[in-house]
A and B are shown apart, each in its own frame.
Chain A
Amino acid sequence: MALLDVNNLSISFGGLRAVDNFKINIEKGELYGLIGPNGAGKTTVFNLLTGVYKPNEGIIRLDGEDITRKSTIEINHAGIARTFQNIRLFKNMPVIDNVKVGLSERFKYSSLEGILHMGSYRRVEKEMNEEAMRLLKVFDLDGECETLAANLPYGKQRKLEIARAMATNPKLLLLDEPAAGMNPNETGELMDTIALVRKEFDMTILLIEHDMKLVSGICEKLTVLNFGRVLCQGETKEVLANPEVITAYLGE
């Protein structure tokens, strides 16, 4: 059974069918790319998958569970974490606290214990700190754990966003144009990070990307979206050789 199984997904905004009859099947452990020209509806698909928009039609199943009409929060708890095209960090909080916010569903104590700093507060906070540092170490951010997120350089902000998403212990990670605004060096480093996340956490990843080099370099499968519709789907090599895809990208 596929980890993510989406069928017949559609949404309209005032007459415009932004996503039309979208389907995708992602197996556990796959690194899957969602590509397409600007305005093809890629981010809209992400927003549908994470419950930011509610679809007009269609069904989304994660690990067999129907999550179609659930809220963003419930979907995160069900096991989908994401990053954003325009980085959205908790800017005025230290790096480590960004990750600890992601951890707070797994490391719990009651609000009263939190306010009184009593009961399991100390123990859980300690465990939480250790887990956060372990995660930050994977992303090579442990040296800057006390820095405010806003003060990190761009590439590290991207990494922190991925680290925060991983802190929620997802089954599926959605990356929205992770290489946007990066130079070739940073892109290379990012590819390493993504490879690392797969290896370290055995993670299933769906990523939106413009950078063809990155896509062809790491994705095993691709779905090409054009005008809200699936143009082509399958193994990366076959998809990239498809003449329709080339036309969509390069024009007639």
Chain B
Amino acid sequence: MSKQTKQNLITYGIVIVAYIIVEILILTGNLSSHMKGLLVPMTYYAVIAVALNLCVGILGELSIGHCGFMCLGAFSSAFFSKLTENSLPTVPRFIIAFIIGIAVAGLFGFLIGIPVLRLKGDYLAIVTLAFGEIIKNVINAFYVGVDSKGLHFSMKSSMELGMEKDGNIIINGAMGITGTPHNSSFTVGVIVLLISLFVVQNLINSRDGRAIMAIRDNYIAAEATGINVTGYKMMAFTISAAIAGAAGVLFSHNITTLTASSQYFGYNASIMILVYVVLGGIGNIRGSVIAACILYLLPELLRGFSNYRMLIYSIVLIVMMIVNWSPKVIEWRKRTFGRLNLKRGAKEVA
């Protein structure tokens, strides 16, 4: 077994063991209902953190609009589930809802990626933020209803839909979608997380993944080595968006009223995911999962901490960036550790 395979298996193992422990706690009645309510959000935050790490750590481009893709996945799947709530049995409906949420988010990731990936660095980051906000704003002004004549759309108000009396408004602008079936569960969340991990970790250890990382490290050299830079960037970005869409499906099927609010889908929410990714280690997929779970649960568990959590996270974020990236700090670390190594070497010789 290669070193990489072993590392991947450890990641799956951690997730599965954590799942079993939580299930035992639930069965023995040791988990409060408050805690149980946190389990599904924990899984979708872990999923979107994996998605974002693919974009930031592997592709090397900062996105601060990933919650926009989550929003697309949430709305498209919830729309489908509401529409077919009475006509399809739960399991196939939920599976199709996943496929739709993933496909819609992936499609938009592809479409948005075409312009976005022509940019680099700061500009790319700010444009992802722009697209995230555009998605959120447009959905907030989006009305869809269904009656015997079929679907009606409007960008103005629910009155403009011109529906029959017995018509059913599904997406009601800023009021969003109400009454999506609660199909998400901790088990489903863990399965989605495992599949996301499987896809991302396998991708990293394949031809495509190496090409993507080569572009991250030096796109000029990658081009000269015959790597299709644009194509691979699109691929990574699309997969990342699609996985964020899967997180959105979990989200929308766990909440009674789904609205495209800033709290869940604005750029501040995207930055929160970025905090998970940075604190878990940029490019470290397993770290993202662990960081997302711990950082999501911590403030919920420690009362009083939640007021200070963002303060503490932001300080930790700044300190970590300086410690890990500052050229002077890196040099200082090399000198210090270099000396340690020398000493160790000297001992061995003696």
Answer yes or no: A and B touching, Cβ < 8 Å.
Answer: yes
Selected contact of B221 from candidates A84, A97, A108, CB within 8 Å: A84
B-side interface residues, number (CB < 8 Å): 27
Which secondary structure characterizes the binding site on chain B?
helix
Whole-angstrom distance between the alpha carbons of A246 and B83 in the complex?
A: 83
B86 beta carbon closer than 8 Å to chain A: no
Selected contact of A121 from candidates B206, B216, B225, B283, CB within 8 Å: B206
**Could you tell me the distance in whole angstroms from the C-beta of A49 to the nearest C-beta in chain B?**
11
Whole-angstrom distance between the alpha carbons of A101 and B223 in the complex?
A: 11
Which chain B residue has the least Cβ–Cβ distance from A92? B217
What 0/1 pattern do residues 188 to 213 of B give for CB contact below 8 A with A?
00000000000100110111111101
Check A114–B207 contact: CB distance below 8 A.
Answer: yes
**Could you tell me the distance in whole angstroms from the C-beta of B218 to the nearest C-beta in chain A?**
5
What residues of chain B lie closer than 8 Å to A82, measured between beta carbons?
Answer: 224
What residues of chain A lie closer than 8 Å to B223, measured between beta carbons?
Answer: 71-73, 76
Whole-angstrom distance between the alpha carbons of A167 and B221 in the complex?
A: 13
Which chain B residue has the least Cβ–Cβ distance from A170? B226
What residues of chain B lie closer than 8 Å to A104, measured between beta carbons?
Answer: 207, 210-211, 226-227
Check A90–B217 contact: CB distance below 8 A.
Answer: yes
A-side interface residues, number (CB < 8 Å): 36
B235 beta carbon closer than 8 Å to chain A: yes
What residues of chain A lie closer than 8 Å to B222, measured between beta carbons?
Answer: 90, 101
Check A117–B221 contact: CB distance below 8 A.
Answer: no
List residues of A (49-89) whose CB comes within 8 Å of B's CBs. Answer: 50, 52, 71-73, 76-77, 81-82, 84, 88-89
Check A164–B235 contact: CB distance below 8 A.
Answer: no
**Could you tell me the distance in whole angstroms from the C-beta of A127 to the nearest C-beta in chain B?**
12
Check B203–A114 contact: CB distance below 8 A.
Answer: yes
List residues of A (137-186) whose CB comes within 8 Å of B's CBs. Answer: 164-165, 167-168
Whole-angstrom distance between the alpha carbons of A164 and B222 in the complex?
A: 10
Using known A-B contacts A73-B228, A101-B227, A115-B199, determine if residue A89 contacts B221 with beta carbons closer than 8 Å. yes
A109 beta carbon closer than 8 Å to chain B: yes
B214 beta carbon closer than 8 Å to chain A: yes
Check B211–A89 contact: CB distance below 8 A.
Answer: no
**Could you tell me the distance in whole angstroms from the C-beta of B130 to the nearest C-beta in chain A?**
29
Check B203–A93 contact: CB distance below 8 A.
Answer: no
B220 beta carbon closer than 8 Å to chain A: yes
Using known A-B contacts A73-B223, A81-B225, A115-B199, determine if residue A93 contacts B217 with beta carbons closer than 8 Å. yes
A105 beta carbon closer than 8 Å to chain B: yes
Check A73–B213 contact: CB distance below 8 A.
Answer: no
| Residues of chain B at the chain A interface (Cβ within 8 Å) | 199, 202-203, 205-211, 213-214, 216-218, 220-229, 235, 283
16 contacts between A and B (CB under 8 A): A73-B226, A76-B223, A84-B224, A93-B210, A101-B222, A101-B227, A102-B225, A104-B207, A108-B207, A109-B207, A111-B206, A114-B206, A114-B207, A114-B208, A117-B202, A121-B206
- Sample of 12 further A-B pairs with CB below 8 A, known A91-B217, A93-B217: A73-B226, A76-B226, A88-B221, A89-B218, A91-B218, A93-B213, A97-B213, A98-B214, A101-B211, A105-B226, A117-B202, A167-B225
